[in-house]
Amino acid sequence: MKQNQNILIIGAGLCGSLLALRLAQRGYNVNVYESRPDLRVTDISAGRSINLALSDRGFKALRLAGVENKAREICIPMKGRLMHDTQGNTFTSNYSGRDNEFINSISRGDLNGMLLTEADKYDNLTIHFNTECESVDLDTNIVHFVNRKTKKKFKVEADVIFGTDGAGSELRKSYFLQRKFLFSFSQNFLTHGYKELEIPAAAEGSHQISKDYLHIWPRGEYMLIALPNLDGSFTVTLFLGHEEGEYNFKDLDSEDKIKAFFQEQFPDALALIPNIAEEFENNPTGPLGTIKCSPWYYKGNTLILGDAAHAVVPFYGQGMNASFEDVAVLDGIIDKHEGNWETIFKTYESVRKADADAIGELAEENYYEMRDHVANPIFKKKRQLEIQLEKHFPEQYFSKYSMVTFNENIGYHEAMTKGRAQDKAILNMIADNEINLNDDLSVLLKIVQEKTNDIIDDDNIAKTMHH
């Protein structure tokens, strides 16, 4: 029965290859079509960030497919943040008050390659490279492709089609353009963009700065970050306004200007990036966009997952984790309704949509928190209090960041709702001098919990008006 069902997956990126692996493990006949060449044999940059932060939601999904340990082997644990000021001074900022909570730097290419190699082990799974999807005919369930090498066009019919083809998804475009149903859609771009640079490895292949941290140079209107790679290098990302602000990508159009900007704002980073002007010119300036849409499925025929359904900005380090979690959530629903794809897709969206929307919002918000990390004294006090609460009440207190990043059994929407209320409670009590941070921690915990619950209750009463 299952073997008779032909599953077609568009896109063999991180989400598509994990989905393919999982569906092959379930016994389906799976064909995956990827527009790019095989990244294990061709040196390609996917045009997207080179390394990513892998955390607990991602691991949970990888575990389901039996590849968690293979992923851990290529991870570099980042135990905390290391903040750099304009004088080159550094200080650490933990992710949580619990010792075992950290995130991991991982190469997108290495992780994707591992998943493809695992997928290759299944006879009922075939990956076709250099085949670019041009559109999906929703009426006939036929996908139109072009072979990127031969330029030949061809089409494939399938029983079920999954679109894991990223933020520029062709399946999503077909939803938008074919107007078979009312399709709610949004793309929201920040006024800031990003550019990747490189801190090369030291001569002997070691890291020039500590590889045990996510490095951050927060500067309010802009920000630099660096994540370690296994080869000793760091991938550095500059987040900066496209056209606005005192400094912006448009104005930084000469070697002198670029170096002067880095010398003033990121002198210690500048000393480690030898080819900065060249890289600045050659590497593209990327947009920072959030995509939301609904419905994600059409009948029992097609479904979009991952960035295709909900691309997010990178500031919570959750884009990949959310995409992997999609696969795990879908898998749990297939367990219950196997054989009825329309019910599976409908249930999946009803369960998953609020969480996908929430991580999109959280990621946009977190940009302000990251780049203003050191500036605001009230934020600092709040962070100190939360770290202490987590340290002393590890089973009872979880900051918003901890709920989002380390609590894979809480949905993003719940983490957002509770996390925002906690933030609001603590910030207001500090601002209004309603709490004494030197009080006993168990007293402080109780006050924060009560105030948080009050805020949630008040919001719920107000919300009955709008729902």
Binding residues vs its own copies (CB under 8 A) = 182-189, 242, 287, 289, 292, 365, 368-369, 376, 378-379, 420, 423-424, 427-428, 431, 458-459, 461-462, 464-467
Q: Which is nearer to its own copies, 335 or 459 (CB)?
A: 459
**Rounded to an integer, what is the distance from CA 431 to the centroid of its chain?**
32
Which pair of structure tokens corresponds to residue 244?
């606005």
Look at residue 267 and give its three-state secondary structure: helix
For the bound state, the minimum distance from the C-beta of residue 241 to its own copies, rounded and expressed in Å, comes to 12
Q: Which is nearer to its own copies, 251 or 364 (CB)?
A: 364
Alpha carbons 161 and 180: distance in angstroms, whole number: 16
Q: Which is nearer to its own copies, 150 or 184 (CB)?
A: 184
Q: Which is nearer to its own copies, 427 or 447 (CB)?
A: 427
Q: How many CA atoms are closer than 13 Å to the CA of 296, on its beta-carbon side?
A: 31
For the bound state, the minimum distance from the C-beta of residue 348 to its own copies, rounded and expressed in Å, comes to 17
118 in Cβ contact with 70 (< 8 Å): yes
Strands, E, within 95-233: which ranges? 103-107, 125-128, 131-137, 142-147, 153-157, 160-163, 184-199, 213-218, 223-228
For the bound state, the minimum distance from the C-beta of residue 93 to its own copies, rounded and expressed in Å, comes to 16
- Strands 29-33 and 125-128 turn out to be parallel
224 in Cβ contact with 230 (< 8 Å): no
How far CA 158 is from CA of 208, 299, 300, 344, in Å, comes to 50, 14, 12, 17
For the bound state, the minimum distance from the C-beta of residue 304 to its own copies, rounded and expressed in Å, comes to 17
**What is the rounded radius of gyration, in angstroms, for the C-alpha atoms of the chain?**
23
Q: Which is nearer to its own copies, 228 or 241 (CB)?
A: 241
**Cis before 295 (ω within 30):** yes
Q: Which is nearer to its own copies, 279 or 372 (CB)?
A: 372
Angle at alpha carbon of residue 169, lines to 166 and 170, rounded to 5° = 150
How far CA 74 is from CA of 69, 216, 220, 304, 322, in Å, comes to 9, 22, 33, 28, 20
Q: Which residues, in sequence order, are CB contacts of 275 under 8 Å at separation 6+?
A: 198
For the bound state, the minimum distance from the C-beta of residue 363 to its own copies, rounded and expressed in Å, comes to 11
- Supply φ then ψ for residue 258, to 5 degrees: -60, -45
- Strands 297-298 and 302-304 turn out to be antiparallel
Q: Which is nearer to its own copies, 26 or 424 (CB)?
A: 424
408 in Cβ contact with 57 (< 8 Å): yes
Q: Which is nearer to its own copies, 13 or 295 (CB)?
A: 295
Look at residue 367 and give its three-state secondary structure: helix
For the bound state, the minimum distance from the C-beta of residue 389 to its own copies, rounded and expressed in Å, comes to 18
Q: Which residues, in sequence order, are CB contacts of 130 under 8 Å at separation 6+?
A: 34, 35, 36, 37, 147, 148, 149
For the bound state, the minimum distance from the C-beta of residue 47 to its own copies, rounded and expressed in Å, comes to 16
For the bound state, the minimum distance from the C-beta of residue 400 to its own copies, rounded and expressed in Å, comes to 10
For the bound state, the minimum distance from the C-beta of residue 342 to its own copies, rounded and expressed in Å, comes to 13
Strands, E, within 242-301: which ranges? 286-294, 297-298
Alpha carbons 405 and 399: distance in angstroms, whole number: 10
For the bound state, the minimum distance from the C-beta of residue 467 to its own copies, rounded and expressed in Å, comes to 5
For the bound state, the minimum distance from the C-beta of residue 312 to its own copies, rounded and expressed in Å, comes to 15
For the bound state, the minimum distance from the C-beta of residue 62 to its own copies, rounded and expressed in Å, comes to 31
Q: Which is nearer to its own copies, 207 or 346 (CB)?
A: 346
Q: Which is nearer to its own copies, 234 or 315 (CB)?
A: 315
Q: Which is nearer to its own copies, 232 or 286 (CB)?
A: 286
Look at residue 134 and give its three-state secondary structure: strand
Q: Which is nearer to its own copies, 70 or 242 (CB)?
A: 242
Alpha carbons 213 and 79: distance in angstroms, whole number: 6
